[in-house]
Structure formats: C-alpha cells, structure tokens
A = this chain, B = another copy of it.
C-alpha cells in the first residue's frame, strides 16, 4: 500500500502539504493541491487509519456490545445504531458478549486499545467499579449499568402494568408471568410491574412466576411446567417476545389453543412477533428510536466531552395482535 511519502514524492511536495490536502487544513496553493490530488488518485492512495489513530487517539469507530445476538431484539437495535453512526461518519461494529462479564471486559479493553471512540453497551453484569477502569465514552442501552453512565431505557414497570391490565380487561382470571434473569434491571422492573397489578389478587400464587431467563429453550420448559402444574392459568405476561414465541410453542405442544384457552402478551415488539401465527400481542419498545438516541448521545459525549449524565426513558405501546384477541373479551380502548 502506498504511503503519504509516496504521494509526496510523486507530487513533488513534502508530506506536510499532502496531509494538508487530505485534511483540508492550513494553506495550500490551488495548483499544488491539484498536483497532490492527481498523485493520490494515481496511486490509489488511502491514508492509514492506524497511523492517524495513533496520533490523535481517535479511530472514527463506534462499537455496540449486546448480550445475545441470536435474540432478534438486538439485531433490530443494532440496525438503528448502525444507521445513525454511519450518517455521522463512524464505522460501526457489533460485538456479542453472551452477557458474560469476562467477555464484556475483554471487548471493552480490546476496543479501547484500538482507540475506539465510544461504546454502547447492553449489559447487566458490568459494575460501576469495573467501568472506572475504562476511559472512553460509554452509553448504556436497554439496561442501566450505573448512575454515572448515560442510559436509554424504557418504562418497563409501567409497560408491564399495562400488559397485565390489558389481560385482565380481556377477561383473564389467572395471570402468570414468565420473567427474565433476576439480575437484569429491566427484567426486575417488568416483574415489579406484574406484581403491582396482581399482588392483591386472591388467586395469586408464588409459583405463577417462573423464570425463562430471556431464552427460548428455558422459557419453553418453564411454560410447560407452569401450565402443567396450573391448568387454571388463562393468561401469561411474558417478559420478552422471544420467550413469548417459546410460550406460544409450549401451549401448542400441550394442546392448548391461543387465544381461546389462554392469552399471551409479550414485551419488546420485535418483528418476529408479527411474523408468526398467531401473531403475539406485545408491549412495543420504540427500538429504532432508542438505538438512534443512544448513538446520538454517545457521539455528543465523544465530541463535547461534557460529562452531563442523562437517563432517558421511552414509553412502550400496546400492540394488540392475535395471541390475545378473544371474542368474549372487552376491548381495551
């Protein structure tokens, strides 16, 4: 690959002049500029970003760390971040952490050592203490990691309450909850929202809450166990759509009809939810806007170095689909 020296030699100028042309900085005579540009295109020269990064400590690269690339929620989120960062001339890269602290720290260090300009992270494992070791801008998305790190989340608790209220309005008498991992903030909040709405119900049993760990397999097993032990359940609020699909599958394998025998409502609003049959009623997050906003916040932080921490919370919206529509049920308008 040609270097700036080759260009300088071909154009008969110094490397400083070539650099000025490249960065459009300082004074360069028009004629000289043209000679340099000619040389650049002749050699098909592209400046070495590593050298640039070394000098100015920037790489024009932004990374997104997600816990589970196989959950469609994250590709959708990634899509949004990608679009916004690209518009702002950053190279976007995606990394998968398995929600594993070691992998997260490994990526953060590796990226920092590569002078990545900023990181957006979806994490439930990282602690404030560990983050102190890191010196690049970070924004948390979907989950809060620390009060000192800006975050973009949704109103999980309120969303969960709405979901349960909706099931009630549809006529469900015994509502269970498939929850996510207990150490994930949004999972806890969704559980709280559920509890808010059912804690005073006479029918509530502690075994109406089972953990699906935000995973398909776990959720399917959990749902089967739940429904086998409690045939009286006629509504399930599932903490995310991926598990919603699992719950649906479980009910069908048990010979139950959704929504006739049982209603299912999910959370997230991923497109998968409407692609399957029956489509899943859900509490939709504004995924694209959230990703966009997180990227915006991060870029702001990179540029201004102002350390004003912001915690923004979006609202979720009920999307009524086929997994809950009951002939006899009241509409929820």
Contact = CB atoms under 8 A, between A and B. Distances in A.
Contacts of A133: 44
A75 B111 CA distance: 21
A91 B69 contact: no
B61 A114 contact: yes
B114 A114 contact: yes
Contacts of A276: 245, 249, 276-277
A246 interface: yes
A36 interface: no
A94 B95 contact: yes
Contacts of A252: 277
Interface stretch (A51-59, A158-166, A312-320): A51-59
Interface stretch (A5-13, A14-22, A76-84, A177-185): A76-84
- Interface size on A, as a range, is 35 or more
A316 B133 CA distance: 47
Interface in A55-96: 59, 61, 63, 69-70, 72, 75-76, 78-79, 82, 91-96
Nearest to A95: B93
A216 interface: yes
B44 A50 contact: no
A96 B79 contact: yes
A244 to B, nearest CB: 11
A306 interface: no
B249 A49 contact: no
Given A46-B109, A82-B96, 16 more contacts: A46-B112, A47-B113, A48-B54, A49-B113, A61-B110, A69-B79, A69-B94, A75-B75, A79-B96, A91-B107, A91-B110, A93-B93, A94-B96, A245-B276, A249-B276, A252-B277
Interface of A: 1, 44, 46-51, 53-54, 59, 61, 63, 69-70, 72, 75-76, 78-79, 82, 91-96, 107, 109-115, 133, 135, 216, 245-246, 248-249, 252, 271-272, 275-277
22 contacts: A44-B133, A46-B112, A46-B113, A47-B113, A48-B54, A48-B115, A49-B115, A50-B53, A50-B113, A61-B110, A61-B114, A70-B72, A70-B76, A70-B79, A75-B75, A78-B96, A82-B96, A91-B114, A92-B95, A94-B96, A249-B275, A272-B272
